[in-house]
Amino acid sequence: MRIAFPTNTKKTISSHIGLAKGFLIIDTITGKQFYIENPVLKNIKENHINLKEKSEGNRKLGAGIIINDLLRDYNVDVFIANEFGNGMLKNLEKNRIKAIITQHKNIEDVLLEFKK
């Protein structure tokens, strides 16, 4: 099973999926870890998009589609975050990726809890 987390540090869960620096993917069978940079954040930087000009949820960055497609391409089974927007949830369901909300910030803590 592959579990993904939005993260800025590779150790903690980022509070905002769309603006996370990247995604840590852990294969629970092989123990391998993959880190993928967030293409949405890369697009913001390359195109000098000012996030302050638009309110959250009205930025039209395509995060709900772009991130879901990325997770699907890496065969992610479960995506764990602190919260999900409706569009993100809808696309995760479409890609058959289970969304789990956690209040924990530390990825290791979440993995230990998940394995129970």
pLDDT 10s digits, 53-64: 655 555 556 677
CA distance 34 to 56: 28
Are 68 and 88 contacting, i.e. CB atoms less than 8 angstroms apart?
yes
pLDDT 10s digits, 32-53: 999 999 998 877 776 656 666 6
Burial of 8 (0-12, 13-18, 19+ CB in 10 A): middle
Q: Give the pLDDT confidence score for residue 115 in this predicted structure.
A: 75
All structural domains of the chain, each given as residue ranges with its CATH number in brackets, are 2-115 (3.30.420.130)
Prediction pTM value: 0.87
Residue 34, helix vs strand vs coil: strand
Higher pLDDT, 23 or 16: 23
